[in-house]
C-alpha cells in the first residue's frame, strides 16, 4: 500500500496551472511577455470543516468548491492573458459555470437516458440491455468529447499544461528533485486525475441505473438528474481508494483504464510549461502552514 500523502492536486488552465494544497492554492500563468505571474490565496473553511472528512459527503463538498476554485483560476489566467479591462465579471463567471453544469448534465446524463429509453421502447431491448446501451452511449460521449476538443490548438496547450501538472505531482510523490529536468522524466498520467473521475462516473452510472430497472421516460430522466450527486460521491471515494493502492499489482489493474483515458487529455509539456507548473507548486507549498505530513489523507482528484 502506498503511503498517505498531503492533499495536493491541481488543474490546467489557459497558459498555466493551478495547484491546490490543504489550506492554500497557487495559480501560475505564463504572461504574453513570457514572465510567470503567480497568485496565491487561502482556501475556504470548507476544506477544514468536519464534514469534509465524512465519506461520500466530502466528495460532494470538495467537488463543489473545486468548481468555484477552478473558475477563479480561469478568470485569473484570462486576466493575465488579456488584461484587466477584459476580465469577466463575477456575475458572468457564475452564469458561465451554471450554464456549463446544465449542459453537462443534459449531455452526459439526460441524453443517454433518452437513448436507453428509446432502445427499450422502440427497439424491444430488455431493461438490462437498455441500461447498458445508455451507459455505453454516455461513455462514447465522454471519450468523443475529450478527443474532439483535443484537436483545437488552444486545448492541446491546456492538455500539455495538464501533463505538466501531473508530472510535478508525480515527482513530488516520488520524492524526486523538483527541477524541470527531474520532473520531465515522470509520466503525464496520474491516478487521481479528473479525467479518471469522469470515467469512473460513467462506469458507476451503468451499475447504479441498472439497479433501478425499467422506468417511464419522465421518471427515468428525473432519476438520472437526481442521482448525479450519488454517482459523483461514489466515484470520488473509488478514486481515493484506488489511488492509495496504485503501487500494488491489483491496484494497477484497477487504475489502468483511467490512466489510458488520460492519454486523450494530456500531452507532453515543454520545459517552459514545466517551469509554470513548478512555480505554482512551490508557491502553493510556501503558503502551507506546515511541512508535508505523511499521515495526512491522500489527495483529491488531481
Q: Where are the domains of the chain?
A: 9-287
Q: What's residue 99's pLDDT?
A: 83
The 10s digit of each residue's pLDDT in 178-210 is 999 999 999 999 988 888 888 898 889 888 888
What are 171's three cell numbers? 515527482
The 10s digit of each residue's pLDDT in 131-176 is 899 999 999 998 999 899 988 999 999 999 999 999 999 999 999 9
What are 133's three cell numbers? 446501451
pTM of the model: 0.84
Q: What's residue 18's pLDDT?
A: 95
Range from 47-61, 101-115, 266-280 carrying the lowest mean pLDDT: 47-61
Q: In what order do the strands lie in the sheet with 24-30?
A: 9-13, 16-20, 24-30, 36-42
Question: Residue 252 and residue 246: Cα distance in Å, rounded?
Answer: 5
Q: What's residue 60's pLDDT?
A: 83
What are 296's three cell numbers? 495526512
Amino acid at each position: 500500500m502506498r503511503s498517505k500523502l498531503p492533499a495536493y492536486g491541481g488543474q490546467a488552465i489557459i497558459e498555466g496551472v493551478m495547484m491546490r494544497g490543504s489550506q492554500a492554492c497557487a495559480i501560475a500563468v505564463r504572461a504574453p511577455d513570457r514572465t510567470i505571474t503567480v497568485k496565491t490565496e487561502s482556501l475556504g473553511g470548507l476544506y477544514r470543516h468536519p464534514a469534509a472528512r465524512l465519506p461520500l459527503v466530502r466528495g460532494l463538498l470538495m467537488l463543489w468548491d473545486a468548481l468555484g476554485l477552478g473558475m477563479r483560476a480561469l478568470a485569473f489566467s484570462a486576466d493575465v492573458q488579456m488584461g484587466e479591462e477584459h476580465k469577466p465579471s463575477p456575475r458572468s463567471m457564475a452564469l458561465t459555470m451554471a450554464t456549463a453544469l446544465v449542459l453537462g448534465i443534459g449531455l452526459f446524463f439526460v441524453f443517454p437516458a433518452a437513448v436507453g429509453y428509446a432502445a427499450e421502447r422502440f427497439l424491444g431491448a430488455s431493461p438490462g440491455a437498455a441500461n447498458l446501451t445508455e451507459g455505453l452511449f454516455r461513455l462514447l460521449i465522454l471519450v468523443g468529447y475529450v478527443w474532439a476538443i483535443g484537436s483545437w490548438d488552444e486545448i492541446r496547450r491546456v492538455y500539455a499544461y495538464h501533463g505538466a501538472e501531473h508530472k510535478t505531482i508525480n515527482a513530488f510523490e516520488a520524492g524526486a528533485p523538483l527541477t524541470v529536468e527531474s520532473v520531465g522524466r515522470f509520466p503525464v498520467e496520474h491516478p487521481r486525475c479528473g479525467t479518471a473521475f469522469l470515467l469512473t462516473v460513467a462506469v458507476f452510472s451503468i451499475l447504479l441505473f441498472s439497479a433501478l430497472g425499467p422506468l417511464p421516460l419522465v421518471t427515468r430522466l428525473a432519476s438520472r438528474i437526481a442521482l448525479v450527486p450519488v454517482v459523483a460521491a461514489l466515484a470520488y471515494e473509488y478514486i481515493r481508494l484506488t489511488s492509495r493502492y496504485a503501487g500494488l499489482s491489483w491496484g494497477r489493474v484497477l487504475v489502468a483504464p483511467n490512466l489510458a483515458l488520460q492519454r486523450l487529455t494530456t500531452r507532453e509539456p515543454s520545459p517552459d510549461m514545466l517551469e509554470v507548473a513548478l512555480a505554482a507548486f512551490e508557491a502553493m507549498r510556501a503558503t502551507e502552514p506546515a511541512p508535508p505530513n505523511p499521515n495526512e489523507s491522500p489527495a483529491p482528484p488531481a
